[in-house]
């Protein structure tokens, strides 16, 4: 069984500011407590296509394994490794991120897609963020009857972390806005 959810959020900041905040989200020291589930982020590759106006990056992200503590005990792992692939198209002003777990795949598969585009009604002032997440717990013989509950707990955790991520993005956008006006916060 696969649990999926989608959500949309409007940042009342221009696309350039929101995408800048996205790059800074994990590296800003003030976000360590809010995003405490993120343990490490490393850039693996970066490719720029100047003619096409596109940037491609791949990052490795290490997080606390999702799900209830008793599942982590059964699995025997507290961390999960993920790969984030990002494509930024400067000409169309679009940023797309796809994150998938590469560890724990025998037990759980998670894919998160995020897309930032200028808002259709206010393209130079606001940014629309579309996020889709799918979570699939693979039945474990010892936990087959609990798989649905575990999936729901994982979805709940991802939704909570998504809210934290948006809070961080808003804070960084406000900081970048103040910085562009020469105001120190």
Asked whether residue 113 is assigned to any structural domain, the reply reads yes
Contacts 24+ apart (CB under 8 A), 17-21: 17/127, 17/173, 17/176, 17/177, 17/180, 18/116, 18/127, 18/129, 18/169, 18/173, 19/88, 19/95, 19/116, 19/127, 20/172, 20/176, 21/168, 21/169, 21/172, 21/173, 21/176
Task: Say how many domains are in the chain.
Answer: 1
CATH assignment of the domain containing 92:
3.30.530.20
Domain interval for residue 146: 2-180
Per-residue pLDDT of the chain (185 residues; tens, 9 = 90+): 678 889 999 999 999 999 999 999 988 888 888 888 899 999 999 999 999 999 999 999 999 876 666 666 666 778 889 999 999 999 999 999 999 999 888 878 899 999 999 999 999 999 999 999 998 877 654 555 566 666 777 778 878 888 888 899 999 999 899 988 887 66
In a domain, 61, yes or no: yes
């Amino acid at each position: 069984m696969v649990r999926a959810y989608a959500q949309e959020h409007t940042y009342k900041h221009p696309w350039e500011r929101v995408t800048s905040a996205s790059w800074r989200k994990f590296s800003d020291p003030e976000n360590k407590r809010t995003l405490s589930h993120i343990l490490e982020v490393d850039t693996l590759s970066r490719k720029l296509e100047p003619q096409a106006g596109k940037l491609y990056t791949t990052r490795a992200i290490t997080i606390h394994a999702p799900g209830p503590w008793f599942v982590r005990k059964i699995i025997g792992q507290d961390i999960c490794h993920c790969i984030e692939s990002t494509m930024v198209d400067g000409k169309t002003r679009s940023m797309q991120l796809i994150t998938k777990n590469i560890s724990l795949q025998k037990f759980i598969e998670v894919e998160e897609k995020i897309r930032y585009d200028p808002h259709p009604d206010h393209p130079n002032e606001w940014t629309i963020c579309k996020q889709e997440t799918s979570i699939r717990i693979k039945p474990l013989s010892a936990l087959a009857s609990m798989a649905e509950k575990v999936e729901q707990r994982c979805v709940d955790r991802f939704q909570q972390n998504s809210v934290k991520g948006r809070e961080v993005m808003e804070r960084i956008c406000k900081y970048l806005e103040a910085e562009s006006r020469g105001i120190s916060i």
